[in-house]
């Protein structure tokens, strides 16, 4: 039996309903559902006696008595209620209403649906994309409660913006929130998002898309790897093959970290025009120990981004700019495991940045144990390493130490266990060491000196990797050179640490995304 659905409109601009119509599949929707009420597509104005799902677009006009009555009656007649769009979820842009506006100057007060009745699903966005609306209805039709759980993840009276994440020490500084903000209310200061309340419209896109608001790792794994022929390992994740690799280009080997595999692979991608541009981390021109997101479109720009800076880099904050202002159609993204988590959540739950997701062609993940806030890193260098940040030219992690190289030739080694005291809190709950959601994972752990360990995970990753090898950009080492047990050991340590930290946060009723 088809689910009975009614779609109702309150105080709104109709943008969310138009987004639904923009799926191009409205006829299919009408065939799959028993649509009892939908003013935009049918003439009936009779409120149904019974519904499986009622969807409200728009906020409740506080002085509109008809709104109160409609919402209350429909809630009583419906098994489930969904709030569609920012106005319904939070009042959205209507919170800026000052009243005295034509044609209804008396209308100046609005409330979200949840202030009047219980809401089962909240779909934020201004407007939410056609794709996310389509996927919501499809999941409801299939009773896919695991997918729908993302829309139940907004607590009563909680902030719907990214401040909810930062105040709970969950921010991983991936930069995605800044990219999705439709009013440019967010900017990144030393890797962290800063919100301008006066231009925020409470659309909820930043919090919803954040991989630390809700991140169903198992569900996303199953979704993105469902058509891949992979092996599954408890500590490595899903993968197709593992290699030791290094760059063939002497200039890359000289300048890059370890074997330069990431740089060489991207060099091939740009040369072959398989990729138009790369989002990666670069170094600040003045404070070269400080990471900055960078858009790379040629080899000269690429070689400037070589090496690693072990501090926060909001790589994704320029994603929308890369796809729109720079008109890039095939984008590669290089990032830590958390960045790849953000990308994959955007793909599975595309609330924001319509059409941008389709332009991501390659996802390269970097091995990661933890990361540092900018000021914490400076403090650590000066207190433990006794080297000023401006006097360093390279940092590295290897053999259980955080290694600082100074311009004077001094080398300071700080045990990893000591360094952990300075890492950002959100790193401690992350269970992913080898970037398990990427197309290709790259790191130095497990490989001989001057080489990289490469884990190919998807058909997409395999295609790019094999082409780079065949065209002489990458050199593959002999079989058996990877110390895979060492990689697994470090991954196990991170997963166990994550589990303990998550249990500890739950003990104090602190939010966890997994």
Short-list 66, 8, 70, CA closest to 40: 8
φ, ψ dihedrals at 215, nearest 5° = -140, 90
- What's the mean pLDDT in 359-381? 88
pLDDT for the residue 381: 81
Nearest alpha-carbon partner for 2 in 36, 49, 27: 36
Q: How far apart are the C-alpha atoms of 119 and 445, rounded to whole Å?
A: 48
Supply the pTM of this predicted model: 0.93
Structure confidence at residue 289 (pLDDT): 65
pLDDT of residue 103 exceeding 70 = no
For residues 465 and 439, is the Cβ–Cβ distance under 8 A? no
Domain map (residue ranges) of the chain: 4-151, 162-215, 217-371+428-507, 372-422
Model pLDDT for residues 374-406, shown as the tens digit of each residue: 777 788 888 887 888 778 777 777 667 788 888
Q: What local confidence, expressed as pLDDT, does residue 253 receive? A: 93
pLDDT (0 to 100) of residue 420? 77
Q: Is the pLDDT of residue 76 over 60?
A: yes
The CATH classification number of 372-422 equals: 3.10.450.750
- How many other C-beta atoms can be found within 10 angstroms of the C-beta atom of residue 101? 11
pLDDT tens per residue, range 199-210: 999 999 999 999
Q: Which of 95, 55, 111, 58 is nearest to 78 (CA)?
A: 55
Is the pLDDT at 457 greater than 90? The verdict is yes
Element at 19 (helix H, strand E): helix 15-21
Backbone angles phi, psi at 225, to 5 degrees: -105, 10
Over residues 286-339, the pLDDT tens digits come to: 766 677 899 999 999 999 888 777 778 899 999 999 999 888 999 999 999 999
Q: Does the pLDDT at position 151 exceed 90?
A: yes
CA 397 to chain centre: 25
pLDDT category at 107 given cuts 50, 70, 90 is low
Helices (H), 175-318: 176-180, 205-209, 217-224, 250-255, 261-271, 299-304
Predicted confidence at residue 326, as pLDDT, reads 86
440, pLDDT greater than 80? yes
Q: Which of 42-51, 101-110, 165-174 has the lowest mean pLDDT?
A: 101-110
pLDDT digits (tens, 9 = 90+) for 269-290: 999 999 999 999 987 777 666 7
pLDDT confidence of residue 156:
53
Span 416-433, average pLDDT: 87
CA distance 140 to 265: 41
Q: What is the mean pLDDT of residues 173-183?
A: 95
Mean predicted lDDT score pLDDT of the chain:
90
pLDDT exceeds 90 at position 258: no
pLDDT for position 435: 98
- pLDDT tops 70 at residue 462: yes
* CB hemisphere CA count around 164 (13 angstroms): 26
Which token pair is 65?
């008595």
Q: What is the pLDDT of residue 364?
A: 98
The CATH number that domain 162-215 falls under is 3.30.70.20
Res 102: pLDDT: 61
* Residue 417 pLDDT: 79
Tell me the percentage of the chain whose pLDDT exceeds 90: 69
**pLDDT (0 to 100) of residue 380:** 80
Across 187-191, 201-205, 215-219, least confident range: 187-191
pLDDT in tens, 26-64: 999 999 999 999 999 988 889 999 999 999 999 998 877
Q: Which fold has domain 4-151?
A: Rossmann fold (3.40.50)
């Amino acid at each position: 039996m088809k689910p009975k659905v009614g779609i109702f409109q309150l105080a709104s601009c109709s943008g969310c309903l138009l987004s639904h119509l923009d799926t191009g599949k409205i006829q299919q929707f009408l065939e799959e559902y028993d649509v009892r009420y939908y003013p935009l597509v049918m003439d009936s104005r009779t409120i149904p006696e019974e519904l499986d799902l009622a969807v409200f677009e728009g906020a409740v006009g506080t002085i509109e008595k008809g709104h109160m009555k409609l919402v209350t009656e429909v809630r009583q007649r419906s098994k489930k209620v969904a709030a569609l769009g920012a106005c319904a979820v939070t009042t959205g842009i209507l919170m800026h209403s000052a009243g005295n506006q034509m044609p209804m100057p008396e209308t100046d007060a609005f409330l979200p649906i949840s202030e009047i009745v219980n809401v089962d699903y909240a779909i934020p966005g201004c407007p939410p994309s056609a794709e996310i609306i389509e996927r919501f209805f499809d999941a409801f039709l299939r009773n896919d409660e695991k997918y729908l759980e993302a829309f139940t993840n907004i607590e009563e009276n909680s902030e719907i913006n990214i401040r909810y994440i930062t105040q709970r020490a969950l921010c991983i500084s991936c930069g995605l929130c800044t990219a999705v903000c439709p009013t440019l209310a967010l900017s990144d200061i030393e890797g962290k998002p800063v919100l301008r309340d006066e231009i925020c419209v409470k659309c909820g896109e930043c919090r919803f898309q954040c991989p630390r608001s809700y991140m169903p790792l198992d569900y996303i794994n199953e979704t993105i790897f469902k058509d891949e022929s992979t092996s599954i390992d408890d500590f490595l994740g899903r993968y197709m093959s593992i290699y030791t690799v290094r760059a063939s280009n002497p200039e890359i080997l000289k300048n890059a970290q370890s074997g330069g595999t990431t740089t060489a692979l991207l060099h091939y991608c740009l040369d072959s025009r398989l990729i138009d541009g790369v989002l990666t981390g670069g170094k600040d021109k003045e404070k070269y120990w400080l990471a900055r997101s960078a858009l790379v479109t040629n080899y000269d720009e690429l070689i400037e981004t070589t090496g690693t800076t072990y501090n926060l880099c909001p790589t994704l904050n320029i994603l929308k700019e890369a796809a729109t202002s720079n008109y890039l159609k095939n984008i590669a993204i290089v990032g830590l495991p958390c960045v790849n988590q953000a990308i994959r959540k955007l793909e599975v739950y595309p609330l924001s940045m319509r059409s941008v997701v389709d332009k991501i062609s390659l996802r390269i993940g970097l091995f990661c144990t933890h990361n540092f806030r900018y000021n914490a890193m400076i403090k650590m260098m000066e207190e433990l390493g006794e080297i000023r940040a401006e006097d360093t030219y390279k940092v590295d992690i290897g053999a259980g130490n955080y290694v600082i190289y100074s311009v004077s030739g001094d080398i300071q080694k700080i045990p990893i266990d000591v360094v952990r005291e300075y890492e950002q809190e959100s790193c401690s709950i992350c269970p992913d060491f080898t970037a398990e959601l990427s197309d290709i994972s790259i790191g130095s752990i497990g490989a001989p000196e001057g080489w990289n360990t490469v884990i190919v995970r998807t058909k997409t990753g395999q295609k790019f990797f094999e082409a780079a090898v065949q065209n002489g950009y990458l050199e593959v080492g002999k079989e058996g050179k990877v110390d895979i047990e060492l990689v697994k050991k470090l991954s196990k340590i991170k997963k166990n640490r994550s589990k303990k930290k998550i249990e500890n946060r739950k003990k104090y009723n602190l939010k966890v995304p997994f």
